Amino acid sequence: MFGLILLISAGVSAQEDKVWPMAEYMPCMPGCESRKDRNERRDCTKEKVSEHLIASLKYPAEAKKAGEEGVAVISFVVRKNGEVTDLVIDEDPGFGMGAAAMKAVKKLNKLWVPGEHLGEAASVQMKIPVHFVLPEVEEVQSAAPASDVYTVVDEMPVFKGCEDKSVAESRQCTFEKIMEYTDENLKYPEEAKTAKVEGTVRIKFVINEDGMLTSPMIVEGIGGGCDEEALRVLNSMPPWKAGIQDGKAVKVEMELPFRFKLRGE
């Protein structure tokens, strides 16, 4: 299993024909071109690209075995005919992740609706960071859990938007939705930035029979305001689909990591 976060941004490239680092309307996925609001068009494209990559991206066995995670950044050009060219691995965390991300992005070839600039179709430079994250929203083996709180159930709780999928698909979907939600809502505290605080905040919580997130508890913190920020984002999450055991909704204890890592501009 893996988590996947997608951010689509502009870069710079030099080609025989004019390649724009930014366009009035950036390339998008079919079905998103009617969105004239740029934010809506971007979000629609992000969702559809994510769907395509989830279906094709494989977590490299080498990385799994070594317990490695990372971000592979792939840059490419979306041409006027929707063709994807000039693919380059800008950042490769190793262990096969760069190659896996490249292979998945290649499958987006000719799926794009070209960008538009100055009233005409335009070739545009794009960049996709693909995050490989090993599953850590997992059953917490508590030494002495409450008698009515489970750590492993027939059907684990599912994040909003993944309710109608199969058990296997819903688990993968849950990882993806959590990563998307965290990416959109988690803010790096200024105190942590100034002090260059980095690390992972781990929070244990319970999803009750109604799907509500309860009993959050920080089991590993890093300070600098990161603990409070992670707790804020966790508490802001929408209701989940409750876990099922023997055909009944039950309380399930889980754990979620929030990673804070400073990056360049």
Residue type at position 227 = D
CA distances (Å), origin 34, targets 37, 38, 52, 53: 9, 10, 20, 22
How is domain 138-260 classified at the CATH fold level? TolA/TonB C-terminal domain (3.30.2420)
Q: Which CATH architecture has domain 19-132?
A: 2-Layer Sandwich (3.30)
Render pLDDT for 143-157 as a digit per residue (tens, 0 to 9): 334 458 888 888 899
Render pLDDT for 86-145 as a digit per residue (tens, 0 to 9): 999 999 999 999 999 999 898 888 889 999 888 899 999 998 888 887 765 444 443 334
pLDDT at site 141: 42
CA distances (Å), origin 163, targets 149, 159, 181, 204: 21, 7, 16, 22
| Domain segments of the chain as ranges | 19-132, 138-260
